[in-house]
Amino acid sequence: MDTKPTRFEALKLVIEAYGTQEAAAAAFRVSQSSISRWLSQSKQLPAEHVIQAETDTGISRHWIRPDIYPVEDAASRLREHAVDQFADLRFVGTDRRAGNGNRPIFLDTLRASR
């Protein structure tokens, strides 16, 4: 499979990996009718069974439930570690008692040295 399967396709792969709906039901400790309902109505594996399915079948949790376990790409890692380097320089209000408008003191010294 070259492309990522849908949640429903991943669910079908999980059930196929167990062999039968009955075997999957026994592994998840639910009834066979629950497995049938997942296939016909919800079309996705309930969240509480994802890790067990991945462990038992080797099918990635990112395929089974990408809404809960999204694939982390380079862009999301960059966003996670991004730091607003200019947050301290933004104007956040005026504090007349402070006399510096809530700006860091070094800005006042920079302006005075010009």
- Domain total in the chain: 2
Q: Give the structural domain span for 44.
A: 7-64
Tell me the per-residue pLDDT of 42-79, one tens digit each, with 9 for 90 and over.
899 999 999 999 999 999 999 999 999 888 765 555 55
Domain membership of residue 2 (yes or no) is: no
| 97 and 57 co-located in one domain | no
pTM higher than 0.85, yes or no? no
Does 17 share its domain with 56?
yes
Nearest in space to 7 (alpha carbons), one of 38, 37, 52: 38
Extract the runs of DSSP E, i.e. beta strands, from the chain.
Answer: none
Residue type, 70: P
| Runs of H (alpha helix) within the chain | 7-18, 21-28, 32-37, 50-57, 61-64, 74-81, 105-113
Nearest to 90 by CA among 70, 77, 100, 104: 104
CATH of the domain at 59: 1.10.260.40
- 76 in a domain, yes or no? no
- The CA distance from 51 to 28, in Å, is 11
- Cβ partners under 8 Å of residue 107, min gap 6: 89, 100
pLDDT of residue 6 exceeding 80:
yes
